[in-house]
């Protein structure tokens, strides 16, 4: 920022400060302090656990539990499939013999790097791109779902706007 822009910014800041200083002060309603203190005391008495999932509606909690139950077998199948694919790739590439002969950390890391490159070459580009898009879409959907659940499950505040 050159000196001319700096002096212009300082002048604009000075004008804004002077304009705000000439405004009359805003006064809060007399009952605001009592309402705020009452709400703070009410929330201080609540247990911390009550602000989490325990306050969600029953349908949202049941949906979350069903989602978790459905994810368990899916994860099991995915791990089994990946283990089979890894075994097949190790046998097909001849690296299975190298796994038994690994003597140090550096050779193990080199073997893992070679395996990662080999697996990356086996994945079609369309699958990789589709997987990235699906991951992004699922992440966005989960964020939106979490936002909606929290908006619906949040209790309304007792302090009303003035």
Quick one: pLDDT at residue 111? 72
Q: Report the alpha-carbon distance of residue 35 to residue 45 in Å, rounded.
A: 16
Quick one: pLDDT at residue 157? 44
Packed helices 58-93 and 125-153: angle between N→C axes, nearest 10 degrees: 160
Q: Tens digit of pLDDT for each residue in 65-94?
A: 888 888 888 888 877 777 777 767 666 666
**How far is it between the farthest Cα atoms of the chain?**
83
Q: Tens digit of pLDDT for each residue in 119-135?
A: 777 778 788 788 888 88
Residue 106 scores a pLDDT above 50: yes
């Amino acid at each position: 920022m050159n000196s001319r822009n700096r002096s212009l910014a300082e002048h604009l800041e000075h004008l804004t400060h002077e304009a705000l200083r000439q405004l009359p002060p805003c006064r809060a309603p007399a009952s605001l302090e009592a309402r705020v203190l009452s709400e703070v005391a009410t929330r201080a008495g609540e247990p911390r656990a009550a602000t989490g999932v325990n306050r969600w509606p029953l349908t949202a909690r049941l949906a979350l539990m069903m989602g978790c139950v459905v994810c368990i077998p899916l994860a099991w199948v995915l791990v089994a499939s990946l283990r089979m694919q890894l075994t097949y790739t190790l046998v097909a590439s001849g690296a299975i013999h190298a796994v038994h002969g690994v003597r140090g950390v550096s050779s193990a890391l080199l073997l893992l790097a070679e395996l990662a490159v080999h697996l990356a070459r086996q994945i079609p580009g369309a699958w990789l791109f589709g997987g990235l898009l699906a991951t992004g879409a699922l992440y966005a959907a989960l964020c939106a779902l979490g936002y909606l659940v929290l908006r619906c499950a949040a209790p309304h505040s007792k302090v009303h706007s003035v």
